[in-house]
Amino acid sequence: MRRTLTILMSFILLVFLGGLGFLSQLQPFGNPSERQVLEIRNGSSFAEVASVLHQRQLVKNDWAFTWMGRLLGADRNIMPGEYEFHGGMAPADVLDKITQGDVIQYVVTIPEGYSIEQIAGILQEKWLAEEQAFIELTKDAQFLATLDFHADNLEGYLFPDTYHLTRVMTPEAIIQTMVSRFKKSWTTKLSERARELGMSIHEIMTLASVIEKETGLSQERGLISGVFHNRLRKKITLQSDPTVIYALAQFDGNLRKKDLSVDSPYNTYRFRGLPPGPIANPGEASIQAALFPVPTNYLYFVSRNDGSHEFSATLDEHNLAVKKFQLQQ
């Protein structure tokens, strides 16, 4: 009896000491001030992840970490992505991070008035999407159909905003996020207002994009919208320089007289009405301006060369303004 008790006590002691040893391998191991970025690739096994964490000195013992994951049922729930760790993290916190998908997020701000090409450039600079592949995807008919989108491309519908993106997001997912943000901003009230104007959503977004490119001054958007609405109503060509620039294959920053004759439906000097689609991705203020133009009798405006514009109701007044602000430079 005494011998059996001794064996039992010895076994309990061994288990206890073994447990302490196991727990000792699950304590913070590295330097808390040392931060590391680790990418867990799709398809990586839990044992592979544990091994890399040990090699990076983020966990003390990869075997103990692996068993902890198995005991907690977390070994099959790791999520791929880019993670940031520091050496002072407890293995339990490391495990929680990679099973919760607490990946690094990149803050990306898309300015109002940027084109698809410019947005693609931002994403490539941050290594979030390959530029040309992103551009091509915005024109892909099959992909556009999955978004319930009925246009040739997504110009105008990648809503300018600040986004939190991750490196595991596909270009498709990034585009879906931006288009969803647009759809959220386009309310039933805005649809009703577009119908009052006798315009489609696409026409409003096209006009909004032209307004966006014409001025950066909030107090001018409504007036410029009023001018364009007047010209559309009177069937006068819009004569908007930004639409011509959008039509040019190359633009060096200097719009020349010969450019105004380019044969493109986006050339609003040659063709009446709105261009076929947006020339940029307008912000909320320009969309509101397109929907709610300021009532005015103005038909013309010209740059004062300081970011603002001179507005005129007649061609004679406009010609005088052009002479004053453009021809006497």
Mean pLDDT of 282-308: 95
**Structural domain that includes position 154:** 106-185
pLDDT tens by residue, 237-246: 999 999 999 9
R_g over Cα of the chain: 30
Of 101, 110, 107, nearest to 165 (Cα)? 107
Mean pLDDT of 295-302: 94
Give the count of domains, the chain.
3
* Structural domain ending residue among the three candidates 185, 205, 231: 185
Q: Are 133 and 171 in contact (CB under 8 A)?
A: yes
Q: Is 28 helix (H, G, I), strand (E, B) or coil?
A: coil
In the chain, the amino acid numbered 129 is A
Query: What tokens does 218 get?
Result: 């909030």
CA distance 231 to 299: 6
Beta bridge partners of 241: none
CA distances from 59 to 7, 34, 51, 56, 301 (A): 35, 13, 9, 8, 66
pLDDT tens by residue, 208-263: 999 999 999 999 999 999 999 999 999 999 999 999 999 887 777 677 888 788 88
Instruction: Give the number of residues written for the chain.
Output: 329
Domain co-membership, 286 together with 202: yes
* Structural domain ending residue among the three candidates 137, 166, 185: 185
pLDDT tens by residue, 67-109: 887 888 877 888 888 898 887 888 888 888 888 888 999 999 9
CA distances from 154 to 136, 145, 244, 302 (A): 10, 11, 19, 30
Residue 80's domain is classified under what CATH number? 3.30.1490.480
Domain co-membership, 229 together with 279: yes
In this predicted structure, the answer to whether residue 2 has a pLDDT above a threshold of 70 is no
* Structural domain ending residue among the three candidates 46, 72, 100: 100
Domain co-membership, 61 together with 124: no
